[in-house]
Amino acid sequence: MKNRRWSVLALTLFSMALFVTAACSAEPEAGIPPVPTPGLVTLVDIGAHKCIPCKMMAPIIEELKKEYAGRASIIFIDVWEHREQGAKFGVSAIPTQIFYDKAGKEISRHVGFMDKESIVAQLKTLGVK
């Protein structure tokens, strides 16, 4: 009886290890860049093209992409098109902005509309000039 329990436990652990390995080594989803961007302060704005506050943020995100090109990575992910991304980032409401430092560590997150000045202030706090 003991051996059977150990066999079931071993099989379960092996299966979990395979699942985790497959999940961690999976190819990034098409159209979604790696987040955070290695070596750069990263802002990922998680929303949807049809969400009203997200639509209000869209021009801000586009401006910031141009203004901070080469100095910071500004990424938008539409979770209505890529549903698994919401769970991946632990998002429960959109829009959500997540800020990562150069080392890839999440530093802060904000839920809801975020104006350009607040985003720029957070980028400056993270050392982006």
Catalytic positions are 51, 54
User: How crowded is residue 96: how many other Cβ atoms within 10 Å of its Cβ?
Assistant: 22
* 15 contact partners, CB below 8 Å, separation of at least 6: none
* Amino acid type, 90: G
Is 79:94 a contact under the CB 8 Å cutoff?
yes
Geometric angle at alpha carbon 60, from 78 and 55, rounded to 5°: 45
By the 8 A CB rule, do 4 and 54 touch?
A: no
